[in-house]
Amino acid sequence: MRIDLSGKTALVTGSTQGIGLAIAKGLAEAGARVLINGRQAARVDAAVAEVEGDAVGVAADVTTDDGVAALLDRAPDVDILVNNLGIFGATPAREITDEQWRTYFDVNVLAAVRLIRRYLPGMEARGWGRIIQIASDSAIVTPEEMVHYGVTKTALLAVTRGFAKDTAGSGVTVNSVIAGPTHTAGVEEFVYQLVDRSLPWDEAQREFMKKYRPQSLLGRLIEPEEIANMVTYLSSPLASATTGGAVRADGGYVDSILP
């Protein structure tokens, strides 16, 4: 099976590190021209330097109208849109403020919706496109320690299904990837919010998985490249019959026989 994205342009939001950067690298390795996005120009430039292939940096805050306008000025059309941008953090459910709820929806949901609206018409006009949301196991198994995050990821699944119906028969596919607990710098910090900071990383990771993610069949955190592999496949012509789906790359964390 050979994935060839030559001639395609891909935008990955929040791609200066972690899963987003791994996705950008995967798409570039498959031949796509990749737009690296983040808020800080220095971090965008550093990420571009890590990508082997055709990569261009676009520093813009896609949670704001001005940021989206700046992005569209640099990239008026894309063939592949990966809505990876997201924030998370542990807060007791009863202490989550209205402002926090709004912020999480703005970043994790509305930023994706906004970009889908902007880029979808061009994809339909060309008769081909791929739109992928990076969701989470938290969309299905709502975490007690970050209910607001889980709710926004659940919303992304509905956004995906709705837009897949809207684009039916157009040649554009819309999917979500349900990423399981993944090893990134941000997740390392999150792990240490919940377990003893004095523990070495390997021990801290085992303690976290045992106590907070015992459903995982891998028994370890997933590496970002493993998520990127799924996204690269869904971005390709080989995945033409997959749309409206919530495709799992979760290490078996979600206890379900359905994808």
- pLDDT, one tens digit per residue, over 209-253 is 999 889 899 988 999 999 999 999 999 999 999 999 999 999 999
The model's pTM: 0.94
Domains of the chain: 66-249 (3.40.50.720)
For the annotated catalytic residues, the residue numbers are 149
Instruction: State the Cα–Cα distance between residues 182 and 229, nearest whole angstrom.
Output: 14
pLDDT digits (tens, 9 = 90+) for 111-153: 999 999 999 999 999 999 999 999 999 999 999 999 999 999 9
